[in-house]
Amino acid sequence: MAAADLQPMAIAPRAPGDYAPAAGGRGVEALQDAAEPLRGARILHVSAAGAEGRVPEFLGGLLPLAAGAGVEVEWRVLFGSADLRATAAALMSGLRGGESAIEEPVWEEYLDACVRTAGSLQDGYDAVVLHDAAIGLAAGLGYGAAGGGPAVLWRIHEDSSGAEPDALARSGALAERCAGVLVSDESFAPPAFQDGRLHVAPPGIDPLDPRNLELESRLPGRVVRPLGVDLERPFCLQVLELDRWDDPHAAIDAFRAAKGEEPELQLVLAAVLDRAATESWQAAKEIYDYADDTGDVLLLTSYEGLGSLELGALLLLARTVIERSLREGFELAPFEALWKRTPVVGGIPLTVRDGVDGFLAPDPDEAAARIVELVRDPGLAIEMGRAGRERVREGFLVTSALERELRAVAATVQAP
């Protein structure tokens, strides 16, 4: 297996002050205070090409802000042959609790490619942060600051508490070479990772991303109507990634029950569809088939013109956002909904405060009852939405996320 490549990504610095209207002056000051110990340090972030989830989007908001705060950051994307990408994807599937099914010779080839790729990195980094499947590079990056090289940190964005034993053993051996392990919540870390190197650093949303921007009052309607949504009737929304971990079937079941009580209700399933990914098309077809006998279910993808602006408008206009996953993690979609003042039905206690900014509603029947409650009581929906927005402002914007990440990095590296 040939060595992989590390593709540099451009980072345009963004001033922390740009976030003051959303995060407040204290939030910006806390971020700048966290950046101070790392001024002059050189930090490399590496993500994996084709990675599931929203890691590239998260870094696209995080790193420009870090650069604007005075931290010298670089971003590279690890990519290689189809075999290498398949092995990395299988490892992440295993860490999320799926089956990795990686044969030992294939794993050895993968490690060999990662070692040779890591060797191509120039000296001079104070820290290297490996995101999810990029952990393979740890095989060639030494043991961190104590060994004379850069401090290596592994950022796990997914919930790995129920990881498959094979994937856990392989990633654990690589994690031993890391000076720090970052997780979104301590409960997401397997016991093997819960030691002095563990840092808790929840993510956050970028309020300046087109999806999260405040929109002029008439714009959301003008954006959403061409997608086929009837704005004269209430609708609930589920944001999907069209991977094996989403659970649109449970959302459709809850909608069917709720529609029996509220016939005017609509369900919008919004997903960014990768036109080149067979799995995404297959998942979309399965959703169509499952909802075939249910009226007023609308699946919108990028193929129909769904983009960040359209998704932001949907999040704003929905009566509620449904959060259902087979493997719940620290998803950003609920926070984006709450930032738009839209309550959430479903999710986990880490993202939704039951009865405050939404309802946990662990099963479809309870979710249906809560959806009906929010449709019939717009005042309650408004109250919960306001509470949710303040919670996001206080702790789950990208400014807070970067502050937590910088403090974790600073704990493992001494800036020059």
Can you spell out the DSSP letters for 161-216?
Answer: TT--HHHHHHHHHHHTT-SEEEESSGGGS-GGG-STTEEE----B-TTSTTTS---
| pLDDT value, residue 145 | 47
Per-residue pLDDT, averaged over 164-168, amounts to: 93
Per-residue pLDDT, averaged over 402-406, amounts to: 96
pLDDT tens readout for residues 357-372? 999 998 999 999 999 9
Give the angle subtended at the CA of 110 by the CAs of 104 and 115, to the nearest 5°: 125
Interior/surface letters 339-353, b for 16+ CB within 10 angstroms, e for the rest: bbbbbbbbbbebbbb
Task: Pick the closest to residue 16 from 402, 308, 405 (CA basis).
Answer: 402
The one-letter code for the residue type at 416 is: P
Place of tokens 């997401």: 188
130: enclosing H helix or E strand: strand 127-131
CA 109 – CA 347 distance, rounded (Å)? 38
CA 365 – CA 374 distance, rounded (Å)? 15
Confidence of residue 415 (pLDDT cuts 50, 70, 90): very low
Confidence of residue 141 (pLDDT cuts 50, 70, 90): confident
Neighbours of 383 (CB within 10 A): 15
User: Would you give the DSSP letter of residue 45?
Assistant: E
Judge contact between 247 and 327, C-beta under 8 A: no
3-state secondary structure of 324: coil
Q: What value does the mean pLDDT of the chain take?
A: 89
The one-letter code for the residue type at 180 is: G
The alpha carbon dihedral of 406, 409, 412, 413 has a sign of negative
Give, in order, the Cα–Cα distances in Å from 48 to each of 56, 57, 87, 88.
9, 13, 12, 8
| pLDDT value, residue 252 | 94
| pLDDT value, residue 330 | 72
| Stronger pLDDT, 385 or 2, i.e. the higher one | 385
Judge contact between 36 and 414, C-beta under 8 A: no
| pLDDT value, residue 201 | 93
CA 321 – CA 314 distance, rounded (Å)? 10
Residue 416 pLDDT > 50: no
Residue 142 pLDDT > 90: no
pLDDT tens readout for residues 279-314? 677 777 888 888 888 889 999 988 778 888 999 999
Phi, psi of 183 (to 5 degrees): -130, 160
Counting every residue written for the chain, the total comes to 416
CA 34 – CA 39 distance, rounded (Å)? 10
Confidence of residue 68 (pLDDT cuts 50, 70, 90): very high
Per-residue pLDDT, averaged over 345-352, amounts to: 88
Give, in order, the Cα–Cα distances in Å from 290 to each of 247, 251, 279, 326.
12, 11, 16, 17
User: Would you give the DSSP letter of residue 54?
Assistant: S
| pLDDT value, residue 186 | 92
Task: Write down the pTM of the prediction.
Answer: 0.90
Neighbours of 384 (CB within 10 A): 25
| pLDDT value, residue 1 | 47
* Exposed / middle / buried, residue 50 (Cβ in 10 Å: 0-12, 13-18, 19+): middle
| pLDDT value, residue 333 | 87
